């Protein structure tokens, strides 16, 4: 809890409230310093496992022989079961705080082939579920939430100051708990940028839904990779930017045809 001044209608009052936490976490792999992430200090094992999987450093959690995380020191030491060559061509993403990725070429991702079909009201219901489950967001309003879901329920929920980190945590939790991510929904409270879309592709997720907007590049990638992108998801509707996984009302479907 922190004390701060709230200014409303020309009046100033001293109040106490939650302010979202953010800290650097330096990750070393097999004794080699890999990178430093700016993140929220929750679900850090999931974040590390998810990030290493996303960047193709590992193929499964079974390749992690040991993972030591010190929140106090801001360090994570990962020992793998085999030597690896860490990627070095870093790309500064459009993430909160400036995210880092090493693989952004869409040609590295196969086009998805999924039979998933969901109704718009199922997407809006799962987005409501995400906001209900995002406890840190409700406390501070300064954090992003992400979730893996099927049409009926949330399967994994994660929060972080970085929307990319939140998705990495979702994948990490899914890996650690043995939950497949293919043919699921990926929900986010943040913008769907190109690297967010590619994370979904890497996870085998055919539908990405956001409380806010996608970027033009993300929509173009979604069209190439056969991923459905829904933005501005609200209780009364949403925007459909790409893909065919959403079951449209008959009149809207005819209009689109």
Q: Which residues are catalytic?
A: 96
Query: What is the helix (H) or strand (E) element at residue 225, kind and residue range?
Result: helix 216-225
Query: What is the helix (H) or strand (E) element at residue 237, kind and residue range?
Result: strand 237-242
Query: CA-to-CA distance for 205 and 186, rounded, in angstroms?
Result: 7
Smallest CA-to-CA distance from 27 within 12, 47, 13, 1 is with 47
- Which residues, in sequence order, are CB contacts of 62 under 8 Å at separation 6+? 81
Phi-psi region of 155 (alpha: psi -120 to 50; beta: other; left: phi over 0): alpha
* Residue 76: HSE in the Cβ half-sphere, 13 Å Cα cutoff: 26
């Amino acid at each position: 809890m922190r004390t701060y001044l709230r200014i409303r209608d020309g009046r100033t009052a001293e109040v106490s409230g939650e302010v979202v936490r953010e800290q650097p976490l330096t990750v070393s792999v097999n004794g080699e310093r890999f990178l430093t992430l700016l993140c929220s200090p929750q679900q850090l094992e999931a974040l590390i496992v998810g990030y290493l999987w996303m960047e193709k450093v590992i193929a499964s959690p079974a390749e992690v022989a040991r993972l030591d995380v010190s929140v106090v020191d801001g360090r994570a030491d990962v020992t793998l079961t085999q030597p690896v060559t860490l990627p070095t061509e870093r790309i500064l993403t459009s993430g909160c705080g400036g995210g880092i990725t090493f693989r952004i070429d869409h040609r590295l991702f196969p086009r998805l082939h999924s039979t998933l079909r969901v109704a718009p009201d199922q997407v809006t219901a799962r987005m409501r579920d995400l906001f209900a489950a995002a406890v840190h967001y409700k406390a501070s309003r300064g954090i992003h939430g992400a979730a893996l879901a099927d049409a009926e329920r949330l399967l994994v929920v994660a929060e972080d100051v970085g929307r990319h980190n939140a998705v990495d945590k979702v994948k990490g939790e899914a890996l650690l708990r043995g939950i497949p991510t293919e043919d699921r929904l990926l929900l986010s409270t943040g913008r769907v940028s190109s690297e967010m879309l590619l994370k979904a592709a890497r996870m085998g997720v055919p539908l990405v839904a956001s409380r806010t907007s996608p970027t033009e590049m993300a929509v173009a990638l979604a069209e190439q990779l056969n991923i459905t992108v829904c933005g501005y998801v609200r209780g009364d509707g949403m925007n459909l930017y790409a893909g065919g996984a959403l079951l449209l009302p008959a009149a809207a479907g005819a209009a689109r045809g």
